[in-house]
């Protein structure tokens, strides 16, 4: 990252309470530090790329804490969350002149979205009646203001049956607006590209595979699965997360392999 961006970031962190110690700027809890030589991932050449990395780090720590055992000491991780949130806020304050925060750009779990539209609850209820299901409350709450939105950090890792872990890109959320030719109801009504019974798609990746809610057990709280359209039925469905919110927490930027 260039020297001017680094200088601006360090100044923002100082305003947030970070302190200099032995040539490095330290987080309030002492778990994160940077110096003029960097300390950032080598592929982060701009504040925007660094923000993507920080968002991914934040989601990983939150996921770890959420999955911890009862009584497990996660205090260090909670402190790390607090410090990482400060970095995210500092970078966002610097990027704010460049990034639109209009009604078409929102933030959910550190993920930025664009191109979404507002819909009414009546649109949701019509879709549910057509599909014969009740959509998850967290998905509905998000879709009302961000129908058909596109994530800016759009990749997730999927353990595929034949090829192992692969990075998959979520192209966009499927619209609940029945007038959209590429919306959810159009996909479900297309027998050539429709997932099996019990799977309701809500996202696509552009090549025929779908991210779906799994209603096969008639659950009121469906899990999220990945449906591979060109595999046999016993291989085609891979579980991704327990809920829509948990799935969104999996999204991250596309990290170049060279950074590993």
Domain definitions of the chain by residue range: 3-99, 111-248
Per-residue confidence (pLDDT) for residue 203, from 0 to 100: 92
b/e code 57-69 from CB counts within 10 Å (16+ = b): bbbebbeeeeeee
**CA 58 – CA 46 distance, rounded (Å):** 18
What dihedral angle (degrees, nearest 10) is formed by the CA atoms of 218, 160, 111, 118?
A: -50
Instruction: Return the residue matching tokens 């809920």.
Output: 243
pLDDT at 183: 86
Give every residue of the chain whose pLDDT is below 70, as ranges. 38-39, 96-110, 189-194, 206, 254-260
pLDDT at residue 254, rounded to an integer: 64
Domain 111-248 has CATH 3.40.1580.10: yes
Strand ranges across the sheet with 210-214:
172-173, 199-204, 210-214, 223-227, 237-241
């Amino acid at each position: 990252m260039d020297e001017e961006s680094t200088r601006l970031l360090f100044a923002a962190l100082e305003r947030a309470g970070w302190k200099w110690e032995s040539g490095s700027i330290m987080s309030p809890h002492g778990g994160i530090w940077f110096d003029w030589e960097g300390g950032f991932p080598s592929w982060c050449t701009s504040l925007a790329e660094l923000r993507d990395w920080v968002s991914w780090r934040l989601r990983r720590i939150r996921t770890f804490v959420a999955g911890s055992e009862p009584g497990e000491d996660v205090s260090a991780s909670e402190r790390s969350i607090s410090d990482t949130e400060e970095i995210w806020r500092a970078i966002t304050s610097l990027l704010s002149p460049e990034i639109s925060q209009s009604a078409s750009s929102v933030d959910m779990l550190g993920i930025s979205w664009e191109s979404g539209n507002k819909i009414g609850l009546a649109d949701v209820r019509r879709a549910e009646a057509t599909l014969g299901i009740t959509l998850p409350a967290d998905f509905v709450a998000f879709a009302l203001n961000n129908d058909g939105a596109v994530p800016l950090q759009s990749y997730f890792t999927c353990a595929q049956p034949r090829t192992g872990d692969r990075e998959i890109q979520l192209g966009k959320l499927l619209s609940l607006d029945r007038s959209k030719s590429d919306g959810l109801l159009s996909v479900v009504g297309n027998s050539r590209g429709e997932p099996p019974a019990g799977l309701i798609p809500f996202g696509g990746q552009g090549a025929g595979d779908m991210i779906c809610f799994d209603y096969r057990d008639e659950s009121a709280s469906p899990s999220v699965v990945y449906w591979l359209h060109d595999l046999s039925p016993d291989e085609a469905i891979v579980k991704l997360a327990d809920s829509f919110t948990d799935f969104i927490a999996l999204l991250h930027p596309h990290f170049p392999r060279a950074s590993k």
